[in-house]
Copies of this chain bind each other. A is one copy, B any other.
Amino acid sequence: MSTVTGSVQAAIVTVGDELLLGQTVDTNAAWMGRHLASMGIPVTRRWTVGDDADDIRWAVSEAMRGGNLVLVTGGLGPTPDDFTRDVVAELLGRPLAEDPEILEMMRARYRTRGMDDLPAINRRIAEVPWGARKLANPHGAAPGLAMEGDGALVVLFPGVPRELRGIFQGDFTTLVSERFGESLPPVHLHLVHTTGIPESRLSEQVAERLPQGTAPAGLAFLPDVRGVDVRFTFIGLETPEVEGHVRRLEEALESVLTPWRFECASGDLAEAVADALRTRGRVLAVAESCTGGLVAKRLTDFPGASDVLEGGVVAYANEVKSAQLGVDPSVLARYGAVSEEVARRMAVGVAQRLGADAGIGVTGVAGPTGGTAEKPVGTVWYAAAVEGRSVARKERFPGDRKAVRERAAQAALFLLLRLLDGRVAADG
């Protein structure tokens, strides 16, 4: 827990047979860990147990020994295998009582959906341990429930991710700052998104240039198949001090980071590309072979894509490359479908055909078959074009079919971003 220090320590208990059996991946635990860390609260230990009263009792007791903030998720529903509410009430010596407010709210929800009355079984959701504070659930019936016991604050959340997140970001965050405010150091994060450089090389170069005496509290490299985020964490510093550190860091690391970085709210490069197109009043069209629609899909993941994306062509067959994109069959025959010439003509052709002024073209061997000695699996040519002038790159991406496709889509988007912002120049 090197990045976070403080006097509040959290322990998490996640409840559900489906978690142990692996039918559900425990994304709640990771989400809560990330958000607690950004509040200056480290998670020290985590337990997962099934829908079993004894196991829940055991895990919550253990967790209360290990942390002064205990978060319990799951097992708050109405069915007979939902035990969390009962077990924790008993453990903390707080008898359950029906809460008229929750009951009325649930009845109202049922009426809105045109249903008669609340099924009897659902009344269990309205039961609240004596003296527990209810935390509003913006997306469901069961509120979060917060209680004190043996010096720990114990908070119960429903297991449905949307409901848990709504409660966490609302009433729970308020409660934590009320209860622990004094002991919580201010936490500032400075995040730099990069793509195209491996984690090992980036971390070496950053370490070499990190200025002495301005070292932030924590430095983390967060890699995934699309790129590496560099996160600087400042604990216990006031805003002006943090700003000073960030300025010095950015100056020292400029030459390392500039070739690889991009900026946007979501951290998804596709959003950065859409922002860059929007700022410059450009409209894009994409032509994809091996990525098969992935580039277009990523651009349209974001609302408002229609401002900057005319559309795309998935040119899996060579005939589609010729007929729909205007790639000359003789070029295909001469250089092969996976070639610089074809990538450039796809990028330029799709923009022309679809009435856009920017284009992307991607053609490669995603595998697992189809590789040759000259063009092994993972070989991808990709190109970006603006107003008919293009730039192209070739790479051999590692990994399986999925990884090659993800990396190719990312690389093509990044090439267009750099062409738009002047970090690379068109040469064809």
Contact = CB atoms under 8 A, between A and B. Distances in A.
Interface stretch (A47-55, A177-185, A258-266, A410-418): A47-55
Contact of A1 (B17, B27, B44): B17
Interface residues of A, number: 76
A113 to B, nearest CB: 13
B30 A25 contact: yes
A222 B291 CA distance: 29
A299 B305 contact: no
A151 interface: no
Q: Which of A20, A310, A368 has the most CB of B within 10 A?
A: A20
Contacts of A312: 293, 313-314, 316
A4 B26 CA distance: 20
A310 B316 contact: yes
B311 A314 contact: yes
A27 B24 CA distance: 9
Contacts of A47: 45-48
B300 A316 contact: yes
A43 interface: yes
B310 A319 contact: yes
B50 A21 contact: no
Contact of A311 (B52, B296, B316, B353): B316
A55 B47 CA distance: 13
Contacts of A293: 288, 293-297, 300, 312, 314
A89 interface: no
Number of copies: 2
Interface string A331-353: 00000000000000000000001
Interface of A: 1-4, 17, 19-27, 29-35, 37, 42-50, 52, 55, 59, 220, 222, 286, 288, 290-297, 299-301, 303-306, 309-317, 319-320, 323-324, 353-355, 366-369, 401-402, 405
Contact of A324 (B42, B59, B311): B311
A301 B366 CA distance: 10
Given A296-B293, A324-B354, A353-B324, A286 B306 contact: no
A48 B49 contact: no
Given A1-B50, A47-B45, A306-B317, A29 B22 contact: yes
B300 A310 contact: no
A288 B296 CA distance: 10
Contact of A21 (B34, B59, B297, B353): B34
Contacts of A44: 20, 50, 55
A303 B366 CA distance: 8
A37 B18 CA distance: 11
Given A22-B34, A25-B26, 12 more contacts: A22-B30, A46-B47, A290-B300, A293-B293, A293-B297, A303-B369, A309-B317, A312-B313, A320-B355, A323-B355, A324-B324, A324-B354
Given A25-B25, A44-B50, A313 B306 contact: no
Contacts of A31: 22
A10 to B, nearest CB: 9
Contact of A17 (B2, B24, B324): B2
A92 B351 CA distance: 66
Contacts of A19: 29-30, 33, 46
Given A316-B311, A324-B324, A37 B55 contact: no
Contact of A292 (B20, B33, B291, B299): B299
Contacts of A401: 301, 303
Contacts of A304: 369
Nearest to A46: B48
Contact of A48 (B45, B222, B316): B45
